Amino acid sequence: GENVEQHPSTLSVQEGDSAVIKCTYSDSASNYFPWYKQELGKGPQLIIDIRSNVGEKKDQRIAVTLNKTAKHFSLHITETQPEDSAVYFCAAAEDQTGANNLFFGTGTRLTVIP
Amino acid sequence: NAGVMQNPRHLVRRRGQEARLRCSPMKGHSHVYWYRQLPEEGLKFMVYLQKENIIDESGMPKERFSAEFPKEGPSILRIQQVVRGDSAAYFCASSPPRGVGEKLFFGSGTQLSVL
């Protein structure tokens, strides 16, 4: 089965700096990679996703890159703000409709210091 | 349009009791997924249901755990004879019918504490 590893487990940055979270996956059949943000006391919320037919996707201050050859993908947050503080999870699945086959990383706790 | 609703938010049970967790999917969503999250860990898939059908329960323990999604009413995750190791956050997610490019929407979870 798929194995998703996520690093770092904790990350602290100064407000305005960039934050990068990296994930690797093991199953070359995986082709859908969503990122979720989980705030305290809430469920995970999808913030961005990417499919393996593209190498990069951007949405305002958030971007995700994918290296299919190396089987790793990363989340980039620029100009971080205190409200970006949360736990971020990466995930991988064989296709977008296979939510029962969505494998999650162990999470990164991001703290943005004002 | 209300999101995925889970209740209760917090549930305390003593060892040996039963825990019933409820999930109402988003309006128009016919697919429900249950995940378990242990402290400092990611979400682990448990079971995937459609109305009146269990599609995939490969992530659910064979004993003491069961799930249903009846024709009417919420999806229920039931844990019988709870043990301390069942303490975790249980999240429900829903999605529209497959094949429409659906994404997962999560509820706020139920924190189960077994004393």
Q: How far apart are CA B14 and CA B12, in angstroms?
A: 7
pLDDT value of residue A76: 98
Band (pLDDT 50/70/90 cuts) for residue B68 is very high
Peptide bond into B25 cis (omega under 30): no
Helix (H) or strand (E) holding A28: none
Contact yes or no for B45 and A102 at CB 8 A: yes
* Residue of B36, B44, B104 for testing the chain A interface, max A β-carbons within 10 Å: B104
* pLDDT per position as a tens digit, B13-53: 999 999 999 999 998 888 899 999 987 778 899 999 998 99
Can you list the pairs that B57-65 forms with residues at least 24 positions away whose Cβ atoms lie under 8 Å? B58/A100, B60/B34
At position A31, the amino acid (one-letter code) is N
Nearest to A93 by CA among A23, A29, A7: A29
Band (pLDDT 50/70/90 cuts) for residue B61 is very high
Report A:44-83 residues touching B (Cβ under 8 A): 44-46, 49
Check if the beta carbon of residue A15 is closer than 8 Å to that of residue A81: yes
Nearest CB partner across the interface for B45, out of A36, A96, A100: A100
pLDDT value of residue B40: 74
Q: Which two tokens stand for residue A23?
A: 């994930």
* Residue of B43, B53, B110 for testing the chain A interface, max A β-carbons within 10 Å: B43
- The three state secondary structure string of chain B is CCCCEEECCEEEECCCCCEEEEEECCCCCCEEEEEEECCCCCEEEEEEEECCEEEECCCCCCCCEEEECCCCCCEEEEECCCCHHHCEEEEEEEECCCCCCCCCEECCCEEEEEC
pLDDT value of residue B100: 45
Contact yes or no for A99 and B106 at CB 8 A: no
Q: How far apart are CA B87 and CA B89, in angstroms?
A: 7
* pLDDT per position as a tens digit, A37-87: 999 888 899 999 998 877 899 999 999 999 999 999 999 999 999 999 999
Q: Which has the higher per-residue pLDDT, B31 or B8?
A: B8
The three-class DSSP label of residue A30 is coil
Q: How far apart are CA A7 and CA A9, in angstroms?
A: 5
Give residues with Cβ within 8 angstroms of A79, minimum separation 6: A16, A18, A61
Q: Is A2 on the interface with B (CB under 8 A)?
A: no
Q: How far apart are CA B103 and CA B6, in angstroms?
A: 18
The three-class DSSP label of residue A109 is strand
Report B:94-113 residues touching A (Cβ under 8 A): 95, 98-99, 101-109
Give residues with Cβ within 8 angstroms of B62, minimum separation 6: none
Cβ-based contacts of A96 with chain B (< 8 Å): 101-103
DSSP for residue A99: G
Residue A107, CA distances (Å) to A91, A98, A112, B59, B112 in order: 10, 21, 16, 20, 20
At position A72, the amino acid (one-letter code) is H
Nearest CB partner across the interface for B95, out of A42, A99, A106: A99
